[in-house]
């Protein structure tokens, strides 16, 4: 399938946006009262309104975030091809639990982001809890596999859980935020100051060499998603740099989902 790169508008040279106008079926739809701006014809350098996560109570009675993604977003994401940290191509569908189990997918900004090293440290420390709950943990970052290996080696981080998306295909499909303002000036980023000690600890072996060669990638924001099989249960987009969700909250969503199945 063709993946359309959707970027925030900018006139700076860092951003390489050259999307030709074309008609798309929207990747996002809503069954709740909050809806995103309609997706019609996309023009390069035109502002794109991105949908937010809506907090509600699912029909199962379990409190969980419900997004305005269309129901088959897992199928669409599954067609995206990225790379293992060792450099092997892999379809995103193979990262999701094939037996309809629960997978927590965390998309980092990029491998050279200090805040992402802090998040990766938190993921590494939380992984035994996810394993104990029967939840598969997947981390994806922007950059080539060699950049992923730098983070995995120096942090360290388990390579079997780490994947590289150099062309940001998954980020585009999921409509994650992108741009100068989101990266450097978003109010949500102020929460990083409350995690100064954690960031300092994670940065002990940090190297800027993990930054993608494509410097426009540093303007990409991340997000966190929970799937059962290919069904999306939870989706949260980072508003700005360092705007990560609580991993306790993410694990709670996973465990609630497991409980409803049981």
**How confident is the model over 143-154, as pLDDT tens digits?**
999 999 999 999
User: In this predicted model, what pLDDT tens digit does every residue of 169-208 receive, in sequence order?
Assistant: 999 999 999 999 998 898 988 888 889 999 999 999 999 9
Whether 106 contacts 136, CB under 8 Å: no
User: Using 50, 70 and 90 to split pLDDT, how confident is the model at 262?
Assistant: low
pLDDT of residue 257: 82
Contacts of 233 (CB under 8 A, 6+ apart): 64, 102, 226, 227, 253, 257
Closest CA to 237 of 123, 106, 110, 145: 106
Structure-token match 């730098």, residue found: 150
What is the per-residue DSSP string for 139-175?
A: EEEES-HHHHHHHHHHTT--GGGEEE-TT-HHHHHTT
Enumerate the β-bridge partners of residue 15. none
pLDDT at 210 over 90: yes
* Top-confidence residue, 9 or 163: 163
pLDDT of residue 261: 61
User: In this predicted model, what pLDDT tens digit does every residue of 95-154 receive, in sequence order?
Assistant: 998 788 999 999 999 999 999 999 999 999 999 999 999 999 999 999 999 999 999 999
User: In this predicted model, what pLDDT tens digit does every residue of 6-47 receive, in sequence order?
Assistant: 444 333 333 333 333 333 333 444 333 222 333 322 333 333
* Top-confidence residue, 70 or 6: 70
Closest CA to 246 of 67, 142, 106, 114: 106
* Top-confidence residue, 2 or 242: 242
Task: For the chain, give percent helix, strand, coil, nearest 5.
Answer: 35, 20, 45
Per-residue pLDDT averaged across 35-64, rounded? 34
pLDDT of residue 248: 96
């Amino acid at each position: 399938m063709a993946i359309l790169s959707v970027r925030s508008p900018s006139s700076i040279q860092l951003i390489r946006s050259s999307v030709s106008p074309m008609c798309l079926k929207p990747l996002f739809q809503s069954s709740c009262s909050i809806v995103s701006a309609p997706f019609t014809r996309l023009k390069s350098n035109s502002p794109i309104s991105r949908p937010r996560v809506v907090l509600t109570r699912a029909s199962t009675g379990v409190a969980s975030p419900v997004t305005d993604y269309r129901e088959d977003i897992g199928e669409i994401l599954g067609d995206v091809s990225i790379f293992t940290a060792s450099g092997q191509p892999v379809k995103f569908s193979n990262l999701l639990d094939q037996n309809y189990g629960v997978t927590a997918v965390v998309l980092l900004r990029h491998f050279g982001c200090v805040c992402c090293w802090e998040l990766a440290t938190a993921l590494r420390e939380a992984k035994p809890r996810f394993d104990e709950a029967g939840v598969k943990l997947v981390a994806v970052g922007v950059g080539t596999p060699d950049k992923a290996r730098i983070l995995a080696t120096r942090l360290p981080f388990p390579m079997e859980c780490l994947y590289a998306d150099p062309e940001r295909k998954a980020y585009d499909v999921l409509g994650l935020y992108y741009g100068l303002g989101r990266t450097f000036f978003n109010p949500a980023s102020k929460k990083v100051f409350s995690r100064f000690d954690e960031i300092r600890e994670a940065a002990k072996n940090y190297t800027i060499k993990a930054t993608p060669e494509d410097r426009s990638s540093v303007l990409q924001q991340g997000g966190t998603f929970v799937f059962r099989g290919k069904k999306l249960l939870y989706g949260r987009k980072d508003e700005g740099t360092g705007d990560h969700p609580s991993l306790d909250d993410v694990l709670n969503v996973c465990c609630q989902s497991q409980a409803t199945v049981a």
